[in-house]
């Protein structure tokens, strides 16, 4: 089941880099972002390579994003909430 969803009572709307996104209630922020085809969550500080979720369980730190101004939030461990403001370090890659 895709995390991407139209706005219904069972969805939440939040913001990604200033853009409104709908996701199914209860999914992780990482699932909601991938469901919206956002793949670059952060960039490697040395190589500047795009990074995205890998382990899905809080170990690799590749899914860190900024949530409501707080950097370093692991998206795979964070439930998506209505109105949360998410910033990724990547450009909007939405293949």
Q: Whole-angstrom Cα distance, residue 92 to residue 50?
A: 11
Position 73 contacts ligand FES (CB under 6 A) = no
Position 71 contacts ligand FES (CB under 6 A) = no
Q: Whole-angstrom Cα distance, residue 42 to residue 64?
A: 6
Instruction: Please list every residue from 51 through 70 that binds ligand FES, using CB under 6 A.
Output: 53-56, 58-63
Instruction: Please list every residue from 12 through 51 that binds ligand FES, using CB under 6 A.
Output: none
Minimal distance in Å, beta carbon 7 to ligand FES? Answer: 26
Answer for the pair 34, 94: CB distance below 8 angstroms, yes or no.
Answer: no
DSSP classification of residue 68: T
What residue ranges bind ligand FES (CB under 6 A)?
A: 53-56, 58-63, 74, 76
């Amino acid at each position: 089941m895709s995390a991407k969803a139209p706005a219904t009572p069972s969805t939440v709307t939040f913001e990604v880099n200033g853009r409104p996104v709908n996701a199914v209630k209860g999914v992780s922020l990482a699932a909601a972002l991938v469901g919206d085809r956002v793949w670059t969550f952060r960039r490697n500080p040395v190589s500047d390579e795009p990074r995205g979720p890998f382990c899905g369980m809080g170990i690799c730190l590749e899914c860190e994003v900024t949530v409501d101004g707080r950097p370093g939030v692991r998206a795979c461990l964070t439930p998506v909430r209505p109105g949360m403001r998410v910033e990724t370090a990547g450009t909007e890659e939405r293949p």
